[in-house]
A and B are shown apart, each in its own frame.
Chain A
């Protein structure tokens, strides 16, 4: 039971990192990043493959952040000057291209069969304690990222991002360099998602392209939106609700429904889709919206 809870907590914390990253890009800056999973995947593969090549894990994780951030940079330069719809679709395209590279470049990623045997974090500890140690490490990482983002939100940088989100023309008139601010927000968010990917790889010790489908992106989206776009605390709450929902629906069959595994999975995503629509219709600000328009 304890190990089950630890496992859920670890996945939940990885989703919190992804959520905080998206909240910076979408909640603070208004960038519709529908390709979030790409940064997650790049982080996971970078860290996993480098550690297999013998690099020490902390260095691998740093490299994961750098590479995931760097990969988002051209995306930002290309699209942030265009209409918001464009980034949405281009980002989906980007994540699909990343996935097809993972599936096809056998020499690097071993293709669809995935990469097994990635060194685990804290591999010297016995299995049960290893899980707890990873959970603690993730808690620390989440705390650091959370504090950093909260600080950033109050700093002039955060105020500029929100100014751009709310009224781009006015921000430009105040001589803010829109492209630079948006790109930095996108890159920083991608680096955080890359870190989440690195934790994922060194926790599961096995990664494959099918773990990085668009569904991951939209799970994170629903968490951020339900919690309250723009609020880091709201994002954490939203992620908690998402995990509760994903885990809770495992037990739907106990209620007398007789669904097979794939039907259950499908039903889950139907509900997530419906929740996204209902949220937009009735509570677009989420459950915990930013308390006030700070700054």
Chain B
């Protein structure tokens, strides 16, 4: 095995992993507070990329502004799905919510197909020369993706750990009725959580759009890696999810090089199976998720 190539793949895997981490931590937060796997979460990521495309390319807005609009739009959309669908089902079993979320996922994915078609599209971004150091190369866009993800994670970690909102969130996710008795406005906390979770998915989708091409399946491809990262890290653990996502990104990249590019999915699936066999509560997780 060529060590240099191996390390280059690790570097490439980290930027993919960073995107997965953004989407995964949103999924994990929503799971923690609403107690079901929101399958439509990854399709929110797709919407983020396409809204940004609409504003950046069709309407010729400056790209950073288009990204911001994309993130805000997805946050609003995620919140809307919560109010219209999931909130009404909050007393049902998780199964009912999961099936409803598949319906939402289908609706969103084919809405994108309906409007933009199923051909590959791309952001019109200037080509940039890769930075080189010690014989390794990294594209400025990958570097930007990694920096943005790190910034988001630090902000998120600080918010959850040290602010009143973070305490309220942890209280509501641990024991909603107790939190209500203690005077925590749980509905407001849940609403914020959906906004933040969806915004993270939107940002992840946009960053993936920068790295790859846009298709209606942009988010769907992220479902398995995202879920793998959440399982790896343990549900609800922000730092665990980040670590899990980076590992998944690297595994995917290595599988693509040493096996077959199209077996990325199979490799990630293998990782999920292994983790479930060895430690159902996640490698880094502290909370048991198995019922």
Residues of A within 8 A of B (CB): 30, 32, 34, 78-79, 81-86, 88-90, 92-94, 96-97, 100-101, 103-104, 218, 221, 225, 262-263, 265-270, 272-281, 284
Q: How far, in whole Å, are A269 and B114 apart by their CA atoms in the complex?
A: 10
- The reply to whether A84 and B94 form a contact with Cβ atoms under 8 Å apart is yes
* Shortest beta-carbon distance from A25 to chain B in Å: 12
- The reply to whether B263 and A273 form a contact with Cβ atoms under 8 Å apart is no
- The reply to whether A103 and B224 form a contact with Cβ atoms under 8 Å apart is no
Which residue of chain A has the shortest Cβ distance to B93 in the bound complex?
A84
- The reply to whether B265 and A96 form a contact with Cβ atoms under 8 Å apart is yes
Whether B117 is near chain A, meaning CB under 8 Å from some CB there, is yes
A-B contact pairs, 18 of them (CB 8 A): A32-B99, A82-B280, A83-B289, A88-B39, A93-B269, A96-B224, A96-B265, A100-B263, A221-B99, A270-B111, A273-B103, A273-B104, A273-B110, A276-B100, A276-B106, A277-B100, A277-B103, A279-B103
Q: A78-B277, A218-B106, A276-B103 are in contact. Are A266 and B113 (CB under 8 A)?
A: yes
Q: A85-B36, A263-B114, A266-B113 are in contact. Are A97 and B105 (CB under 8 A)?
A: no
- The reply to whether B100 and A281 form a contact with Cβ atoms under 8 Å apart is yes
* Shortest beta-carbon distance from B46 to chain A in Å: 13
Identify which of B65-73, B84-92, B138-146 touches chain A.
B84-92
Q: A274-B103, A280-B89, A280-B96 are in contact. Are A82 and B265 (CB under 8 A)?
A: no
- For A277, the chain B residues whose CB sits under 8 A away are 85, 100, 103-104, 107
For B, the interface residue count at a CB cutoff of 8 angstroms equals 47
Q: How far, in whole Å, are A101 and B263 apart by their CA atoms in the complex?
A: 8
- Within 8 Å by CB of A82, from B102, B262, B276, lies B276
Residues 1-45 of chain B, each 1 if its beta carbon lies under 8 Å from chain A, else 0? 000000000000000000000000000000000001101000000
Residues of B within 8 A of A (CB): 36-37, 39, 85, 88-89, 92, 94-100, 102-111, 113-114, 117-118, 223-224, 227, 231, 260, 262-263, 265-266, 268-269, 272-273, 276-277, 280, 289-291
- The reply to whether A281 and B88 form a contact with Cβ atoms under 8 Å apart is yes
Q: A32-B98, A276-B100, A277-B103 are in contact. Are A88 and B37 (CB under 8 A)?
A: yes
- The reply to whether B272 and A273 form a contact with Cβ atoms under 8 Å apart is no
Q: How far, in whole Å, are A92 and B92 apart by their CA atoms in the complex?
A: 23
- For B94, the chain A residues whose CB sits under 8 A away are 83-85
- The reply to whether A262 and B92 form a contact with Cβ atoms under 8 Å apart is no
- The reply to whether B276 and A86 form a contact with Cβ atoms under 8 Å apart is yes
Q: How far, in whole Å, are A31 and B113 apart by their CA atoms in the complex?
A: 30
Q: A88-B37, A281-B85 are in contact. Are A30 and B99 (CB under 8 A)?
A: no
- For A276, the chain B residues whose CB sits under 8 A away are 99-100, 102-103, 106
Q: How far, in whole Å, are A100 and B264 apart by their CA atoms in the complex?
A: 9
- Within 8 Å by CB of B102, from A96, A101, A221, A268, lies A221
- The reply to whether A90 and B110 form a contact with Cβ atoms under 8 Å apart is no
Q: Pick the most buried of A88, A262, A275, A284: most chain B CB atoms within 10 A of its CB.
A: A88
- The reply to whether B99 and A94 form a contact with Cβ atoms under 8 Å apart is no
- The reply to whether B107 and A274 form a contact with Cβ atoms under 8 Å apart is yes
Q: A85-B37, A100-B265, A274-B107 are in contact. Are A32 and B95 (CB under 8 A)?
A: yes
Q: Pick the most buried of B36, B85, B97, B98: most chain A CB atoms within 10 A of its CB.
A: B98
Known: A262-B118, A266-B110, A272-B103. 7 other contacts (CB 8 A): A85-B94, A93-B227, A93-B269, A100-B263, A100-B266, A270-B111, A280-B103
Q: How far, in whole Å, are A282 and B263 apart by their CA atoms in the complex?
A: 40
- For B100, the chain A residues whose CB sits under 8 A away are 276-277, 280-281
* Shortest beta-carbon distance from B81 to chain A in Å: 9
- For A265, the chain B residues whose CB sits under 8 A away are 113
- For A281, the chain B residues whose CB sits under 8 A away are 85, 88-89, 100
